[in-house]
Structure 1
Amino acid sequence: MSSPTPRTRHRLARRARIGRSVIATVAAGAVAGLIATAPGAAATPTTLEAPDIPIANVKAHLTEFQSIANANGGNRAHGRPGYKASIDYIKGKLDAAGFTTTVQQFTYNGATGYNLIADWPGGDANQVVFAGAHLDSVSSGPGINDNGSGSAGILETALAVSRANLKPAKHLRFGWWGAEELGLVGSKHYVNNLPSAERSKISGYLNFDMIGSPNPGYFVYDDDPEIEKVFKDWFAGKNVPTEIETEGDGRSDHASFKNVGIRVGGLFTGASRTMSSAQAQKWGGTAGQAFDPCYHRSCDTSSNISDTAMDRNSDAIAHAIWTLGSAGTTPEPDSVFENTADVSIPDNGAAVTSPVEVTGRTGNAPATLKVAVDIKHTWRGDLVVDLLAPDGTAYRLKNSSGSDSADNVITSYTTDASSEVANGTWKLRVQDVAAQDTGHLDSWKLSF
């Protein structure tokens, strides 16, 4: 007979020295850990924290706007094919993310214009938090800072709402306006055709026009104290000084809403005005140069963007949407999808799976998808555990480890599944990759 392997000797010694007091301690710790991570536990009322908006995602939208302009005569102006292609691009993204979208048509200068409105399901329909940006460029250039920047910032914020499956207290709405460059035509059309009862439901309109200027200032609209404070507090927390916006006052789409009594706010990084020495010292820019030297010119391309300003302002937009839409609310309980059927796990054998059918969700799975597992096994280090998305993509939850000699896997994992459609058949896959120990999958659940 051969001598016991080191792993076997370790197991025998371990099991021999486990006394009742140790068992009790381990059991108590396991229960405490399970309670601490249990999906669906009641949440303390709090202001929900906004996610960081990936600058790479925002820049990808700007790159798409540039490509659209390149393919359509160099611009995305009202009445030109580049503008309609921009509308179609954004609408496709929002439709896939679970928004309800509406394209509103109007006519100006003999050409058809378009506004795009996107509503996120849920929230109090009598309290609407509305973020908007104009999507058109001037005819002389692609308009990437003016105003691909604001359009991309609110688009990626809207997609972040979907990824988080946000359940705000207030209803969230996003808008992209046409023919702003010709006199706020699209936003005026929207507001003028909105019944007064619907206007009264808009608790605040946030405007974002030029938020990535290459020599940026950080300007905040001062029209409404509450909205202004949300933005100023965010920038103060990042040690970024701000100034009151004056250059574009009344020259962008917030004026259409303000003129009918709707509270407004927003952000701006400057256009044709020149940065002062004091501002350059404050913000690290170039004194004596325009905030955007390519304002309304053909050089307003994807290279005419400050990544730092674009990143900061996109995060500030998300902060405002989360704060104004959800401040002081308690998140709704998680939606839980569970399979409690036992599945035997063969010793050193093939992988086994257990399915869960997810229905009734909109858009993609969250970036913080919770996976709670209860696996009974005499040596958990043998186990490899994966979550399989409906399209078959595997998300590794647990690797095997020869040194992990404890029993059972009773815990919760969090994984970023935001690239996956939520509805469909998800599976937990478990495999025992070493000999001598056995077990079974007792239950598992997904919490959205």
Structure 2
Amino acid sequence: MERGHQDDFDRQDRIEVRANGPLEGAVAIGGAKNSVLKLMAACLLTEGTFVIRNVPDIHDVAVMADVLRAMGVSVSRVGDALTIERPEAIIPEAPYALTEQLRASTAVLGPLLAGIGHARVALPGGDDFGPRPIDMHIAGLEAIGCRFEISGGDVHAAADNLVGNSVLLEYPSVGATENVMMAAVRAKGTTVIDNAAREPEIADLAGFLNHMGGHVIGAGTSTITVDGVEELRPVEYTVVSDRIEAATFMAALGVATGEITLVGARLDHMAILCRKLGEMGVRTSSDPDGVWAMCSGRLRSADVSTLPYPGLPTDCKPLLVAMLSVAEGVGIVTENLFSGRFRYVDELVRMGADIRTEGHHAVIRGVDRLSGAPVRASDIRAGAALVVAGLAADGITVVSDPHHIDRGYEDFAGKLSALGADVCHERPGD
């Protein structure tokens, strides 16, 4: 490598990982990224001052805050609490410069249509693991009286009168379920969403809307009923804990061994995941502070298939692939939700993993140890999985582009280090 290129690499933002273990102690699990972004969007439904607590200090929250600020909404943070002040008059537009960074920015469509009656939202970006079109969002909102036109990369939407209706989703899309819920809460009459997403974050949003004075029942089941109301009010609310962050630390425990407590985590939100982890050798149980987990030996292989909640979440798949890379035996992983979400596998193979992919399937033959190597994060969970893999690799694993990890994890390296892992996030200028 030429000296100039080496200097550029030395100045890169990166995470360095060395194998270490066992992990011990307690780690605080923050509020769910996939919930708080939607709660922030829901604040557009009515004017006033909201306070949302247990908010992780992560990049995606900062971007969503900027989306709201671009509309004229005030957003400030003190500790883990966001204060969001929505004035009477706002600009119902989300510019591409922001939406390209955050796929969840589409969540502003429903509340803008319900609260203002029109919206212009640039088509979003986000993680790079295949297309996730918003067709179902549009179809669901059209069913209750919204009109759409897509031109110039923007979604132009209007709603003169929202009227409750039956909405059947072709697939239990989380985003479509949330957008329809947020719009239907201000519609005239009753909206019934069938084949709705069942994730805990859906139930959290329903709780937020109900605290505002909405009437949403059935969240967490495949049928959600929303009775429209004429008025909503601003509220204070605490975000549910992040089950994917909890899963990440359990994955780290699996490859490094040890015993940890996941403070604030909820076992009932991870039942099938914990059952699968149990097959692999990670013991879990409820604890007064959250969830207790222990792993005392080498992991065992298992077969894994991603499915909509309550099935194994696709966000956990990269973590499970990293675990299976050093497990005893052969495991088969099937991705049923998104295409292109095996792009991190090449990075694990660089570390010595024995993985073969074909279409939606990956066959992983566990090896005794991985080897440290320079690797690159391609999205939030892939980046976290590479850090986890580094805990079972000889030598030094250097993960570049860790800004992806910062999108979804608050002080990931610091939390792992506090449990005894040898992980360091080096930033330019540190």
Report the TM-score when normalising by structure 2: 0.31
TM-score by length of 1: 0.30
Structure possessing the higher relative contact order (Cα contacts under 8 Å, 6 or more residues apart):
2
